[in-house]
């Protein structure tokens, strides 16, 4: 690389870089990443749903004066019905994401080819008798 400080330009000598991309097989990796994302999101939604359910019960108990005063005294989130709706929405979404993710896992397992007898992936076992 040569520099020409008078004009502020850099002169690069040419280099050719060739990248060979593998064909096929990438789709399975993308499906696996999508499945992991679905299952991970569902796993994070379930504790959030439990927290929303606890807040709904706490607010309901505060309305009936069974518990101490609720932490949020005004606004949309000060109603137990809102927390119950959040709980139901998060839990329902987590259930759906789990079902879709597990279905993708089952479909991927069914797509794996069964190794034929005598192939390199399933070596023959010879008896030592």
Average pLDDT over residues 63-91: 90
Of residues 25 and 36, more confidence is placed in 36
What is the rounded distance in angstroms from the CA atom of residue 32 to the CA atom of residue 37? 9
Q: Can you give the chain as a three-state secondary structure string?
A: CEEECCCCEEECCCCCCCCCCCCCCHHHHHHHHHHHHHHHHHHHHHHHHHHHHHHHHHHHHHHCCCCCCCCCCCCHHHCHHHHHHHHHHHHHHHHHHHHHHHHHHHHHHHHCCCCCCCCCCCCCCCCCC
Give me the residue spans of the domains in the chain: 27-110
Tell whether the model's pLDDT for residue 118 goes beyond 90. no
Tell whether the model's pLDDT for residue 65 goes beyond 70. yes
Tell whether the model's pLDDT for residue 27 goes beyond 70. no
**Residue pLDDT, tens place only, 42-55:** 999 999 999 999 99
């Amino acid at each position: 690389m040569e520099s020409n400080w008078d004009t502020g330009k850099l002169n690069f000598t040419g280099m050719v870089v060739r990248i060979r991309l593998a064909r096929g097989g990438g789709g399975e990796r993308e499906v696996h990443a999508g499945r992991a994302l679905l299952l991970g999101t569902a796993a994070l939604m379930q504790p959030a749903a439990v927290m929303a359910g606890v807040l709904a019960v706490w607010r309901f108990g505060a309305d009936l004066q069974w518990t101490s005063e609720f932490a949020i005294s005004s606004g949309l989130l000060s109603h137990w019905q809102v927390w119950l709706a959040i709980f139901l929405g998060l839990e329902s979404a987590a259930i759906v994401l789990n079902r879709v993710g597990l279905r993708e896992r089952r479909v991927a397992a069914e797509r794996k080819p069964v190794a034929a007898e005598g192939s390199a992936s399933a070596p023959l076992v010879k008896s030592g008798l």
